[in-house]
Amino acid sequence: MTFATHILVPTDFSDASRLGTDAAAMLAERFGAEVTLIHVQDDSALRPPANLGYSPERRAELAREIEVEVDARLRALLETTFANVTAKAVRLEDSSPARAICAHADKIGADLIVIATHGRTGLKHLLIGSVAERVVRHASVPVLTLRSKAPD
């Protein structure tokens, strides 16, 4: 029996999430596991009131620019951090990143989720919440959390 055969690793491209991607790559290489790198974009971020004053064409153009940038960043991670393992990347849109992460882990049959946490406390934690905390609570597979000391 092996430790993990398919690792799901979410990224928001922050310095904190780099800890999770690095750990997932190391574990995948060590155990010969496949990796799915996932980025979940909050699909409500481009709806009113955030986009008031934008024409429908500009909104569509902005959404496409974001997709292109996210895809480029995912590709860069695959080519660098995950160059030595079997890995693929997925971009999803959902207003709840934690829900999307857990659902995608189930969908692909991941047997481990590796996620970094920003380690927010106090008022920041209360206002912003913790995706990692919600993933731990709702995932049907083990979750390895890594607390980052990177600034927000």
Tens digits of pLDDT across the chain (152 residues): 578 999 999 999 988 899 999 999 999 999 999 999 999 998 776 666 666 777 878 888 888 999 999 999 999 999 999 999 999 999 999 989 999 999 999 999 999 999 998 765 554 444 445 888 899 999 999 999 998 776 65
CATH of 7-147, one of 3.40.50.720, 3.40.50.2000, 3.40.50.620, 3.30.310.40: 3.40.50.620
C-alpha closest to that of 24 among 73, 89, 106: 89
Q: What's the rounded Cα separation, in Å, for the pair 37 and 96?
A: 17
Q: For residue 11, what is the DSSP state?
A: -
pTM of the model: 0.87
